[in-house]
Amino acid sequence: MVVDLQPIIYLLKPVGVFVFIGLCFSPAWSQVRLGWEHDQAAYFTFPTSLLPGEPSIEVHKKGSKSAILGKIQKIQDSIVFRPALRFEKGIEYEVYSAGNKLAYFKVPKNSHTSTYVQSVFPSVDTLPQNLLKVYIVFSSPMAENQAYDHLQLTDELGNKIPEAFLTLTPELWDEERKTFTLWFDPGRVKKHLLRHQKLGAPLEQGKNYSFVISRQWTDREGNPLKESFKKTFFVQVADTRSPDLAAWEIKVPKAGTDHKLIVSLKESLDYSLILGNMVGLSRDEQAIHGRFALVEGEKILEFTPQKPWTPGRYQLTAYHALEDLAGNNLNRLFDRDLKKETRPGTKKYHTRYFDIR
């Protein structure tokens, strides 16, 4: 028999690992508990005395005829229902046995709007016409499968530039889902591909554009961003030269100090330089421990040693895949014209030496 019409009562504060869930249809069913794991409603449990014999229950999302996939287990004196996907915050669920609704509950939603766009790389506001990649860093983990609905490139008048970005599946997120990598459509950036011929490059030299990030992009909790975000930049000539270690200017610290080693890169390099082990410092083939940072519009590479410098000859090494903002790496250009240019380099690592005295 379905007893209904009683108000839902929430007791939201966790009691140990449990929280009381919404209301139940007889006082006995108030013994149902929701179990939390990693801030997620992972299961619910109730004493076996409530359903003697083989437990047979179905859990439905309110209004749905389909039973939720999950496992029912008897653990000592309790019956545990663990859904395949944890119960979702903000959704109401109903528990049935033999066609009778026994209980219903709603997982409370933590509403907040504190997630924001922390930074966008490249951080400079003058960018090459053949810019390839943009990194967006958020303050908290974000939801998946929404990025391309909430990102826009606009012109000076605020009009959307269509099809500017490559819509990738899966989206390129870091492990924490706080840094998103956005590619410009390479079919448009690359010369002589049909897309480039038909549509032209997404960016035109001498014009201003903006990256616009909508507030509607939600974080992992399903809450929208604190505010929308806009970065306006000016487009200059295309970058058609590979980064060159020989041109880097190295400001060498003195021996006995723990001052930073400062390397002027002569151009903004890709943010990924610090994402991976792309540069290294060694002496007599022994790695020097410390921390690299990319600063001042990604034009300066700084290295802070863990220990004071000792005199000697040092080696700064860069992996060949290190790229500039246009995808040109140390060995080859993003677009290599076979009729004009020489063969790509083959060195795996490029090096510069300097002495500390």
Interacting positions 264-283 with other proteins (CB under 8 A)? 270, 272, 274-278
- What number of other Cβ atoms are within 10 A of residue 79's Cβ? 19
- From the list 27-35, 73-81, 186-194, 295-303, the region that binds other proteins by CB under 8 A is 186-194
117-121/208-213 β-pairing: unpaired
197 binds other proteins (CB under 8 A): yes
Q: Could you give the 3-state DSSP secondary structure of residue 173?
A: strand
Min separation Cβ 15 and other proteins, Å: 23
- What number of other Cβ atoms are within 10 A of residue 269's Cβ? 24
143 binds other proteins (CB under 8 A): yes
Q: What are phi and psi of 270, to 5 degrees?
A: -60, 140
Min separation Cβ 185 and other proteins, Å: 7
Cβ proximity to other proteins: between 49 and 197 the closer is 197
Cβ proximity to other proteins: between 15 and 194 the closer is 194
Q: Could you give the 3-state DSSP secondary structure of residue 161?
A: coil
295 binds other proteins (CB under 8 A): no
Cβ proximity to other proteins: between 82 and 230 the closer is 82
Q: How far apart, in whole angstroms, are the C-alpha atoms of residue 162 and residue 199?
A: 10
Tell me the site size for other proteins, rule CB under 8 A: 75
Cβ proximity to other proteins: between 163 and 302 the closer is 163
Using CB under 8 A, which residues numbered 312 to 351 contact other proteins?
A: 319, 321, 323, 327, 329, 332, 334-339, 344
Tell me if 323 sits within 8 A of 135, measured CB to CB: no
Q: Which of 115, 130, 181, 242 binds other proteins (CB under 8 A)?
A: 181
Tell me if 93 sits within 8 A of 59, measured CB to CB: yes
Using CB under 8 A, which residues numbered 47 to 66 contact other proteins?
A: 59, 61, 64-66
Q: Which of 183, 210, 248, 264 binds other proteins (CB under 8 A)?
A: 183
Q: Could you give the 3-state DSSP secondary structure of residue 30?
A: helix
Cβ proximity to other proteins: between 214 and 354 the closer is 214
Using CB under 8 A, which residues numbered 212 to 231 contact other proteins?
A: 218, 220-222
Min separation Cβ 94 and other proteins, Å: 10
Give the up-direction half-sphere exposure of residue 302: CA atoms within 13 A in the CB hemisphere. 10
Tell me if 142 sits within 8 A of 218, measured CB to CB: yes
Using CB under 8 A, which residues numbered 64 to 123 contact other proteins?
A: 64-69, 83-88, 91, 93
179-183/286-287 β-pairing: unpaired
Q: Which residues contact 145 (CB under 8 A, 6 or more apart)?
A: 171
Q: Which of 172, 250, 252, 262 binds other proteins (CB under 8 A)?
A: 172
177 binds other proteins (CB under 8 A): yes
Cβ proximity to other proteins: between 76 and 277 the closer is 277
Q: Which of 129, 185, 209, 298 binds other proteins (CB under 8 A)?
A: 185
Q: Which amino acid is at 17?
A: V
Q: How far apart, in whole angstroms, are the C-alpha atoms of residue 219 and residue 73?
A: 33
Tell me if 27 sits within 8 A of 9, measured CB to CB: no
Cβ proximity to other proteins: between 220 and 354 the closer is 220
What are the angstrom distances between the C-alpha of 70 and each of 27, 42, 64, 151, 342?
26, 11, 16, 36, 61
Q: Which of 11, 166, 250, 252 binds other proteins (CB under 8 A)?
A: 166
5 binds other proteins (CB under 8 A): no
Tell me if 45 sits within 8 A of 82, measured CB to CB: no
